[in-house]
């Protein structure tokens, strides 16, 4: 009954071409009408995903090839969204690992591959972007094999099938001498190497919730794989909660996947991936089971968070002017609601009613949550990210990261020096071609906080850095991080051109003339290590005396664009980022101007 189904996940490092490859599979499967306008990266439906060009949420689609239904799950490539990868790998029986033909395996390749191997999956390796200059497809295969062995893959997993592909051109080939026509070799490889889903349709029903969705018409929709039994539309079933409680409910709608559409179906047997409506209180990891014999499946295990921030109610002088949701109750409700779908997140009440400790996988993981909240109309403030320590055998341990830098050769020395100050240890260095070098490091997660902006300066914007969680290791001594002092507004008012121009020799500014400021707001970075208070609202005294240089065109230096990600990396322990739907501001804690 399940032989005509294949469930497969697409996994890869960020920007190695997962979503583009899925686009090609969708187009060639015939799910789009002839002449229908199809956007690129069709699976990246979230606004933030399209803006940033990354996959944040895992999403599933289904295509038919010959007589087989292939359920395809597109997963995020960034380790900060590893919770998305971990919870969906339980739905599949195989995976396609995509590797860039030029870069080879990268930090997130290691992360997602380790998760797949732990699940016992045997990946199909696709070396993508073979049409790029400097591509080394066979070199990438050798590096992938080394990574398999390093991660402890068994003999069967190490004997992986591989293909070469160009997602952009929509073709896959088994040998580089072959002519690329279409994606048929990948379809055939999936049928040949991904086993049919295990499961017994004669056993009592078991369906594990792995994704949550919402419809204005149907309410909460749960998505998961039927592990055993058969589920019918309209039948009475039981939801086994993570607490062990059993709640009876009715399947009000049963939906299957066909291309990008959900189609209403009457029943689904073991091995199928379906969407089910009728469970308003279902959460990820819980089991929909037979009403007369409720048997839960093991809860989904997700790695613990490594980074924590404090979210609090905005108490700055401009509080409440730009946001719709500003109270502690609204902030608390939104954060705890996020826990229903974001399995890698942790939220706890703080030491006061207006503070909440929010822990996640990394700065990007928390930054995406913050960006989503501000777009929804929330106004709040956050503290400097702090790593989460553990105690092992009475000794403090801290998270370490595996870091890979791709930099111009003239920036190598500066990067090694700065990472050495941050307790980074270089593991490997090799020429990447084109006057560039690849550097591999292990480094405490603390050492990476605030490093990205420094890295961009060191490489003049030409460097590429990527990292993923490695493991917990004994805590190292204090980490040296460099940052100059800040320029702080001395009074409330509107910044003027005259004041900013006169203070240009003090440092670089984050604001422009006309920006409203308040006392304690950070308006720039000092050239020196100390903090400095400035009057940026000072106006020029007008007289009837004509200046000899009055008609000259005077320009300000370009201000530093302090966007959300940069602000989170930039602030120190005595500073906050104030976030509203309109603005991102930096300020000193509690209006107190810290003296360094």
Percent residues over pLDDT 70 in the chain: 88
> In this predicted structure, what is the pLDDT of residue 593?
41
Looking at residue 59, what is its pLDDT?
64
- What are the start-end ranges of the E strands in 259-372? 261-264, 267-269, 273-277, 287-290, 307-313, 346-349, 355-360
535 is in an annotated binding site: no
Contact, 80 vs 363, CB < 8 A?
Answer: yes
Q: Give the per-residue pLDDT at 596.
A: 35
Q: What is the pLDDT of residue 518?
A: 93
The torsion angles phi and psi of 24, rounded to 5 degrees, stand at -65, -40
Interval 564-578 mean pLDDT: 87
408: tokens are: 């111009």
pLDDT higher than 50, residue 42 = no
Question: What pLDDT does 376 receive?
Answer: 92
In terms of Cα–Cα distance, which of 277, 274, 269 is closest to 223? 274
Same-domain pairing of 93 and 170: yes
What is the largest distance, in Å, between two alpha-carbon atoms of the chain?
A: 96
Higher pLDDT: 248 or 32? It is 248
Three-point CA angle 129, 134, 140, nearest 5°: 60
Listed residues 363, 387, 411: the one ending a domain: 387
Q: What is the pLDDT of residue 551?
A: 41
**What is the Cα–Cα distance from 182 to 538, expressed in whole angstroms?**
66
Among 105, 40, 46, smallest CA distance to 404 is for 105
Distance of CA 219 to the CA centre of its chain: 26
Mean pLDDT check: name the lowest of 28-42, 276-290, 447-461.
Answer: 28-42
| 224 lies in some domain | yes
Range of weakest confidence among 20-29, 185-194, 290-299, 381-390: 20-29
Q: How confident is the model at residue 572 (pLDDT cuts 50, 70, 90)?
A: confident
Measured distance CA(114)–CA(433) in Å, rounded: 28
Is 53 annotated in a binding site? The answer is no
Q: Residue 354, annotated ligand binder?
A: no
Beta-sheet strands, E only, within 345-504: 346-349, 355-360, 380-383, 386-387, 390-392, 395-408, 425-433, 436-444, 464-474, 486-489, 493-494
- The CATH number of whichever domain residue 318 belongs to comes to 3.30.70.870
> Where is average pLDDT lowest: 3-17, 79-93, 249-263, 496-510?
79-93
Instruction: Report the distance separating Cα 389 and Cα 264, nearest Å.
Output: 48
Same domain for 214 and 89? no
CB 161 within 8 A of CB 96: no
Tell whether 233 is covered by a domain.
yes
- Tell me: do 383 and 507 sit in the same domain: no
Could you tell me if residue 300 is inside a domain?
Answer: no
- Residue pair 416/427 in contact (Cβ under 8 Å)? The answer is no
In this prediction, residue 9 has a pLDDT band, given cuts at 50, 70 and 90, of: confident
Q: How many CB atoms are closer than 10 A to CB 33?
A: 8
**CATH code, 554:** 2.40.50.250
Sort 408 into a burial class: Cβ within 10 Å, 0-12 / 13-18 / 19+: middle
- Among 452, 474, 496, the domain-final residue is 474
Residues 61 and 139 in one domain: yes
- Where is pLDDT greater, at 556 or 78? 556
* Residue that the structure tokens 């080939």 belong to: 173
More confident residue, 56 or 353: 353
Bridge partners (DSSP) of residue 387 are: 307
Tally of domains in the chain: 5
C-alpha to C-alpha distance for 423 and 426, rounded to whole angstroms: 10
Using the CB atoms, write b or e for 477-492: b if 16+ within 10 Å: eeeebeeebbbbbbee
- Give the confidence band of 92 by pLDDT, cuts at 50, 70, 90: confident
- Expressed as residue numbers, the domain containing 42 is 5-193
Least confident of 321-325, 424-428, 479-483: 479-483
Same domain, 78 and 219: no
571 is in an annotated binding site: no
Q: For the chain, give the percent of residues with pLDDT over 90.
A: 22
Give the per-residue pLDDT at 241: 87
Worst-scoring range by mean pLDDT, 35-49, 251-265, 440-454?
35-49
Evaluate whether residue 504 is within a structural domain: yes
Element (DSSP H or E) covering residue 59: strand 59-65
- Residue 529, SS3 per DSSP: coil
- Judge whether 375 and 46 are in contact, CB under 8 Å: no
130 marked among binding-site residues: yes
88 and 172 together in one domain: yes
pLDDT at 23: 79
My answer on whether 139 and 29 are in the same domain is: yes
Element spanning 207, H or E: strand 206-215
Instruction: Give the contacts of 349 (CB within 8 A, at least 6 positions apart).
Output: 332, 355, 356, 357
Q: Is 15 annotated as a binding residue?
A: yes
Q: What stretches of 283-327 show up as alpha helix (H) in DSSP?
A: none
Residue 298: inside a domain = no
d(CA 140, CA 99): 7
Domain membership of residue 495 (yes or no) is: yes
Q: Report the pLDDT value the prediction gives residue 85, as an integer from 0 to 100.
A: 72
Measured CA to CA, the distance from residue 568 to residue 575 in angstroms comes to 10
Give the CATH number of the domain where residue 68 resides.
Answer: 3.40.50.300
Encode pLDDT of 352-389 as tens digits.
Answer: 999 999 998 777 788 889 988 999 999 999 998 888 89
Residue 266 has pLDDT above 70, yes or no: yes
pLDDT of residue 53: 46
pLDDT of 79 reads: 53
Name the residue with higher pLDDT: 308 or 18.
308
pLDDT of residue 41: 45
Residue 224 annotated as binding? no
Q: Is 134 in the same domain as 241?
A: no
Strands 273-277, 219-228: pairing is: antiparallel
pLDDT score at 310: 94
Residue 389 has phi, psi (to 5 degrees) of -90, 155
Q: Name the domain boundary from 387, 416, 444.
A: 387
Give the domain CATH number at 244.
Answer: 2.40.30.10
- Alpha carbon separation from 496 to 89, 115, 333, 526, 535 (Å, rounded): 55, 54, 40, 18, 10
227 is in an annotated binding site: no
Which of 344-348, 466-470, 494-498, 573-577 bottoms out in mean pLDDT, i.e. has the lowest?
466-470
Residue with tokens 């990868």, as numbered in its chain? 85
Residues 236-254, mean pLDDT to the nearest whole number: 88
Residues 166 and 31 placed together within one structural domain of the fold: yes
pLDDT of residue 57: 47
Q: Which has the minimum average pLDDT: 176-180, 205-209, 491-495?
A: 176-180
Q: Is 20 annotated as a binding residue?
A: yes
Residue 594 has pLDDT above 50, yes or no: no
The reported pLDDT for the residue numbered 544 is 58
Task: Let me know how long the chain is.
Answer: 596
Query: Is 108 found in the same domain as 34?
Result: yes
Annotated ligand binding at 131? The verdict is yes
The packing angle between helices 137-150 and 107-118, to 10°, is 50
Where residue 470 falls among pLDDT bands split at 50, 70, 90? confident
> How do residues 302-352 score in pLDDT, each as one tens digit?
667 888 999 999 999 998 899 899 999 999 999 998 887 777 788 999 889
What is residue 335's predicted lDDT score, i.e. its pLDDT? Answer: 93
Q: Answer yes or no: do 496 and 580 share one domain.
A: yes
DSSP state of 22: H
SS (H, E, C) 231-278: EECCCEEEEECCCCCEEEEECCEEEEEEECEEEECCEEECCCEEEEEC
Over range 395-412, report the average pLDDT.
88
pLDDT band at 73 (very low <50, low <70, confident <90, very high): confident
Q: In this predicted model, which residue has the larger pLDDT, 542 or 54?
A: 542
Is the residue at 295 inside a domain? no
What are the two backbone dihedrals, phi and then psi, of residue 390, each rounded to the nearest 5 degrees? -125, 160
Instruction: Count the Cβ atoms, other than its own, within 10 Å of residue 300.
Output: 19
Task: Report the sign of the C-alpha dihedral through residues 134, 135, 138, 143, in that order.
Answer: positive
| Tokens, residue 10 | 């697409």
**Residue bearing tokens 């990527």:** 466
Residue 481 is assigned to a structural domain of this protein = no
Same structural domain for residues 24 and 69? Answer: yes
């Amino acid at each position: 009954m399940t032989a005509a189904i294949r469930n497969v996940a697409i996994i890869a490092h960020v920007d190695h071409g997962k979503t583009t490859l899925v686009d090609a599979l969708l187009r060639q499967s015939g799910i789009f009408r002839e002449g229908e306008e199809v956007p690129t990266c069709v699976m990246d439906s979230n606004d933030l995903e399209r803006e940033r060009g990354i996959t944040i949420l895992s999403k599933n689609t289904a295509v038919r090839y010959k007589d087989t239904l292939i359920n395809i799950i597109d997963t995020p490539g960034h380790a900060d969204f590893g919770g998305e990868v971990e919870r969906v790998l339980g739905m599949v029986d195989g995976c396609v690992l995509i590797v860039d033909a030029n870069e080879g395996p990268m930090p997130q390749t290691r992360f997602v591959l380790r998760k797949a191997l732990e699940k016992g999956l045997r990946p199909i390796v696709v070396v993508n972007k073979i049409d790029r200059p400097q591509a080394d497809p066979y070199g990438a295969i050798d590096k992938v094999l080394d990574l398999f062995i390093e991660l402890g893959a068994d003999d069967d997993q190490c004997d992986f099938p591989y293909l070469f592909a160009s997602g952009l051109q929509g073709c896959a080939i088994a040998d580089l001498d072959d002519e690329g026509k279409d994606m048929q070799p990948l379809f055939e490889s999936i049928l040949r190497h991904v086993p049919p889903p295990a499961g017994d349709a004669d056993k009592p029903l078991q369906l594990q919730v792995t994704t949550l969705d919402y419809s204005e018409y149907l309410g909460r929709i749960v998505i998961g794989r039927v592990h055993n039994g058969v589920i019918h539309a309209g039948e009475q079933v039981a939801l086994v909660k993570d607490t062990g409680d059993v709640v009876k409910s009715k399947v009000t709608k049963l939906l299957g996947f066909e291309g990008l559409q959900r189609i209403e179906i009457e029943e689904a047997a073991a091995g199928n991936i379906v969407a089910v409506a009728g469970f308003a209180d279902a959460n990820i990891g819980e089991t929909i089971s037979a009403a007369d014999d409720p048997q839960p499946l093991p809860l989904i295990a997700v790695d613990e968070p490594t980074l924590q921030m404090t979210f609090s109610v905005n108490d700055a002088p401009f509080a409440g002017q730009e946001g719709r949701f500003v109270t502690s109750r609204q902030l608390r409700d939104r954060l705890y609601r996020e826990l229903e779908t974001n399995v890698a997140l942790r939220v706890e009440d703080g030491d006061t009613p207006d503070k909440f400790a929010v822990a996640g996988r990394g700065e990007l993981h928390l930054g995406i949550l913050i960006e989503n909240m501000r777009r929804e109309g929330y106004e709040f403030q956050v503290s400097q990210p702090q790593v989460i320590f553990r105690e092992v055998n009475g000794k403090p341990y801290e998270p370490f990261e595996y870091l890979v830098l791709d930099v111009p050769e003239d920036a190598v020395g500066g990067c090694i020096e700065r990472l050495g100050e941050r307790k980074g240890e270089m593991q490997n260095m090799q020429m990447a071609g084109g006057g560039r070098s690849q550097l591999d490091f292990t480094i405490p997660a603390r050492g990476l906080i605030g490093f990205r902006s420094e890295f961009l300066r060191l490489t003049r914007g030409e460097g590429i850095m990527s990292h993923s969680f490695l493991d917990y290791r004994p805590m190292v001594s204090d980490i040296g991080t460099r940052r100059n002092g800040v320029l702080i507004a001395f009074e409330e008012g509107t910044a003027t051109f005259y004041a900013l121009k006169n203070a240009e020799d003090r440092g670089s500014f984050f604001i422009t003339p006309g920006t409203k400021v308040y006392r304690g707001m950070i308006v720039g970075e000092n050239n020196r290590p100390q903090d400095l208070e400035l009057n940026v609202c000072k106006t020029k005294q007008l007289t009837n005396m004509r200046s000899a240089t009055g008609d000259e065109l005077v320009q300000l230096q370009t201000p530093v664009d302090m966007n959300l990600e940069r602000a989170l990396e930039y602030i120190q322990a005595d500073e906050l980022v104030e976030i509203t739907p309109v603005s991102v501001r930096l300020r000193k804690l509690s209006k107190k101007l810290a003296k360094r």
